[in-house]
Structure formats: structure tokens, C-alpha cells
Structure 1
Amino acid sequence: MAPERESGRAERTPAGATATGRPRVRLDQPRPPRRRIVPEWDPEAFGRLSERIARFLGTGRFIVWMTIVIILWVVWNVSAPRDLRFDEYPFIFLTLMLSLQASYAAPLILLAQNRQDDRDRVNLEQDRKQNERSMADTEYLTREIAALRIGLGEVATRDWIRSELQDMVKELDGRHNGHGVFPTVTAERSHGRDVDDR
């Protein structure tokens, strides 16, 4: 009988379990999610919600609605029949509700301010990098313009070319009139003009 019990027990064990009854850890499959005592939430969604609430708390519409609620609260608890009043004259429950609202509003406003500070820090970093790129581009363009000015100093100007052509025409006229050799004075004059025109 004992071997039959063991064989029946072996047939009942699942495929992923060991002989001791513990499930075998499979490395090719992800672990099942564990239950947590603390609830999880998306910090980005919570931050957006806190900014929305803080933005509403900073509007005049919130102040108007809060003033209307407080006036109705006080009028009801003063003029309503005694059986229907839920907060008598010192208005302790109203004070408790206002302090509760303030205790939640302050951290929400601080959270919204922290998120805004983070955004401002990222924007300032991007502005700083953009300014560095702009300064590098400006320095590059300045160097290029300086190189172009230096290069233009070595380029023949229109007046220099005109004077050289006039000198060549005079020399050709002189040659045509019977002078077979170029006079050296004209070459010296043209060389001096070349230096001056640059």
C-alpha cells in the first residue's frame, strides 16, 4: 500500500514543484508581483494633481466660494431651529474643518512650488547651454570675419587694377612709338603704387 500512496502523491505534485512540496523557482519567467502594505501611486500624476489644487487655491474663485460656505455655515447654525443645528455658537466644527483644509493646503502648495523649482532649474540649465552655444558660434563667426578681412587685404582692389592697366597702356603706347625697352621708372612707379593701393 505504501508504494501506491507514494505513486499517487507523485502524480498529484505539479510540474513546477519539487518532491518536498515547495514550488521550484523558474528563472525564465518573471516573479509574480508581491503585495505591498503601503499603496503605490504615480508621483508624476500626484504632482500634477497637487499643482492643479494649488493653482485653484490661489484664485479669487476659491476665496469667494470659501466665504460663501462660511457665511452659510454661520447663518444656518445661528438662525436654524435648534434641532437642525449641527455646530453651535463657538463653531468648533467649522474651526476644525478650516484648520484641516489649511493643513492639507500648505503641503500641496509646497509640493507644487518644488515641482516649479525643478522645472525652472531645468530651464535655466537649457538656457545656459544655449548661451554657451551662441557664444561659441559668435566667436567662430568673429574669427571667420577677421580671416576674411585679412584675406581681403591681399586681394587686388579695383583702383590698383585700373592703375596697373593704365601703366600697361602707357608702356604699350611708348613701345608703339619706337621705344623698344620698357623704362625702369614705370616699373618702379607701378611697384610703389602696388604697395600703396593695398
Structure 2
Amino acid sequence: MKQKNERCIICHKMHNDVDGIKLKNLSQELRTLILTEHPDVSEDAFICLDDLMDYRLHYIRGMIQNDSENMKMLNEKVMNSIETGNSLVNDVSDTDTTKLTVGEKVADGIAKFGGSWSFIFAFLFVLITWIIINSIALFAKPFDPYPFILLNLILSCLAAIQAPVIMMSQNRQEKRDRNQSDSDYQVNLKSEIEIRLLHEKMDHMLTQQWQHLVNIQTIQVDLLNELQERMEVLEKKGS
């Protein structure tokens, strides 16, 4: 097969057509890279193997550098998100405590004391003492003889007052629980969104990395084929 000479668009030297390749026969990435630096040439232009190898190495270095910059930018975004991100978790107990009115504080205190063993023991002590004093009449006539009508009245008044006070405290506790539930929902929602975004980023990175590996492998295969062809040409010339 007769060989003809071609002029390389990079080094502008004459080469045999077997020592180079047409731009249209290159991969899209390499062709785009060369045409970007030399927009005045066409796809039918010729490039020698030496200059083509330089461009392939340049393309590989560019991909590696681009991947490193993308990873750096991703790490910076993650760090900035951690440093500047506002937490959705609210300390509901502290917020409610700082905004309590006097009545709410009194209601909480009464409810807290009324549901403790201290109140039970104190109440039993007063009740037993009341009954003993009015039963044996140590010093004078009993002020509340059996069946202890005054004691029943006091107990009824205490129950009538204590019940709504405890309900007031329970209503505020229910409101605090509802606020805590809303806060938990916001946190869970944000976590779900961030997990989805993280999956999308990982899928994008894997797809991009896979494509880059395929491109690098293609370039390596082309380089090996060209080296093999040049070795065959040199062997033919030597023989």
C-alpha cells in the first residue's frame, strides 16, 4: 500500500500517514480538546503520533486535576454546611421555662408537689393527726367531731382546687410535647432530604468516575495499539 505524506497541524512537520491520524478518527473528547486549542483547523486535519500522545497525556492530567478539584469543592461544601448549618432541634423545655407566667409556674409547682411522695406522707400525717385530735379530745371539746364534717369540706375544696390546677399543668405539658413532636418531625424531614441528596451525589460521582475510567482506559488502549503498530513498522524497516 502506497504511503503519502501529511503535515501535522501541531508541529507543522511532514510525516507518513501511518505515523499519525486524522482528527475525525479520534474520540470526541480528544477531538474537542484539539479543536478548542486550534479552532481554525477542520476534522480532516492530520496530527502526528508524538503530538497526539502529548494531547492524550494532557487530557488524562486534566481529568485527574478536575476530579481532584471537584472532590475539594465537595469537601468544602460539606464543611461549610456543617459550620454554618442551623440546627432544627429546639430545646422545648428551656423555651417554655423562660416564657412562663406566675400562674403557670404556680400550677407546675402544685402539680409537681401533688404528685410526689412528700405530699402523700404530709397529707396522711395531717389526716391522721386531725382524726386523733378530734377523736380523743385531749385538751378541749373537739372542733370537728365524728363524722368529721369540716375535714370532708376541706378535702372537697382541696380536690376541687387541685384538679383544675393539675389540668392546667397537663395542658401546658401537652403543648410542650406537641412542640417537641413538631421539632422531631422537622429533624426527621431534614435528615430524609439530606440522605436523598447524599444518594444523588454519590450516584453522580460514581457515574462520573466510571465514565472517566472508561475514557482513560480507551486512551490507554489506543496508546498501546499505536505503540504496537510503530514497533511493527520499525521491525519491518529493520528487516
Structure 2: distance between partners of 1:160 and 1:45:
78
User: Where does structure 2 lack aligned partners over 5 or more consecutive residues?
Assistant: 1-98
Which residue pairs with 1:156 in the alignment? 213
Note the alpha carbon deviations across 1:106-141, whole angstroms, 9 max, x for none: 001100010011111111111112222112212211
Looking at CA atoms only, which structure, 1 or 2, has the larger radius of gyration?
Answer: 1
Matches of residues 92-131 of structure 1 in structure 2 within 5 Å?
A: 92-131=149-188
Is residue 55 from structure 1 mapped to residue 112 from structure 2 by the alignment? yes
Structure 1: distance between partners of 2:104 and 2:185:
26
Percent sequence identity over aligned pairs: 29
TM-score, normalised on structure 1?
0.61
User: What is the count of residue pairs matched by the alignment?
Assistant: 139
Residue 43 of structure 1: how far off its partner (Å): 6.7
Structure 1: distance between partners of 2:116 and 2:237:
100
- Higher relative contact order (CA closer than 8 Å, sequence separation 6+): 2
Is residue 143 from structure 1 mapped to residue 196 from structure 2 by the alignment? no
User: Where does structure 1 lack aligned partners over 5 or more consecutive residues?
Assistant: 1-41, 181-198
Which residue pairs with 1:19 in the alignment? none
Note the alpha carbon deviations across 1:138-164, whole angstroms, 9 max, x for none: 221121112112212211258666655
Structure 2: distance between partners of 1:165 and 1:87:
112
Q: 2:147 aligns with which of 82, 90, 101?
A: 90
Residue 165 of structure 1: how far off its partner (Å): 4.9
Structure with higher strand content: 2
Matches of residues 1-198 of structure 1 in structure 2 within 5 Å?
A: 44-81=101-138, 83-156=140-213, 163-178=221-236
Cα pair distance change 1:77/1:176, threshold 3 Å? same
Cα pair distance change 1:156/1:81, threshold 3 Å? closer
Structure 2: distance between partners of 1:179 and 1:113:
99
Note the alpha carbon deviations across 1:161-192, whole angstroms, 9 max, x for none: 66555444433322332369xxxxxxxxxxxx
Cα pair distance change 1:179/1:115, threshold 3 Å? farther
